[in-house]
Amino acid sequence: MLQIAVCGKPNVGKSSFFNSATASGVEMANYPFTTIDANKAVAHVIKDCPCKELGVTCNPHNSICIDGKRLLPIEMIDVAGLVPGAHEGKGLGNKFLDELMQAKVFINVIDASGSTDLEGNPVDAGSHDPLDDLEFLENEIVMWMYGILSKNWVRLIRKVGAEHLDISKVLYDQLSGTGIAIEDIIEAKRTIEPDYNKWEEEDLIELTRNILHIAKPMMIIANKADLPTSAENIKRIKEKYPNVIPTICPVMIILKS
Ligand X SMILES: Nc1nc2c(ncn2[C@@H]2O[C@H](COP(=O)(O)OP(=O)(O)OP(=O)(O)O)[C@@H](O)[C@H]2O)c(=O)[nH]1
User: Phi and psi (nearest 5°) for 154?
Assistant: -60, -45
- Considering only 28, 207, 212, 222, the residue that binds ligand X (CB under 6 A) is 28
Residues of span 154-213 touching ligand X by CB under 6 A = none
- Residue 244 vs 249, nearer CB to ligand X: 249
Under the criterion CB under 6 A, does residue 30 sit at the interface with ligand X? yes
Under the criterion CB under 6 A, does residue 38 sit at the interface with ligand X? no
Under the criterion CB under 6 A, does residue 97 sit at the interface with ligand X? no
- Considering only 2, 29, 123, 252, the residue that binds ligand X (CB under 6 A) is 29
Q: Which does 10 bind (CB under 5 to 8 A by kind): Mg ion, ligand X, none?
A: ligand X
Residue 147 CB, shortest distance to ligand X, in Å, is 23
Binding track over 212-251 against ligand X, x by CB under 6 A: -----------xx-xx--------------------xx-x
Residue 34 CB, shortest distance to Mg ion, in Å, is 5
Contacting residues toward Mg ion, per CB under 5 A: 14-15, 34-35
Residues that bind ligand X (CB under 6 A): 10-16, 28-30, 32-35, 80-81, 120, 223-224, 226-227, 248-249, 251
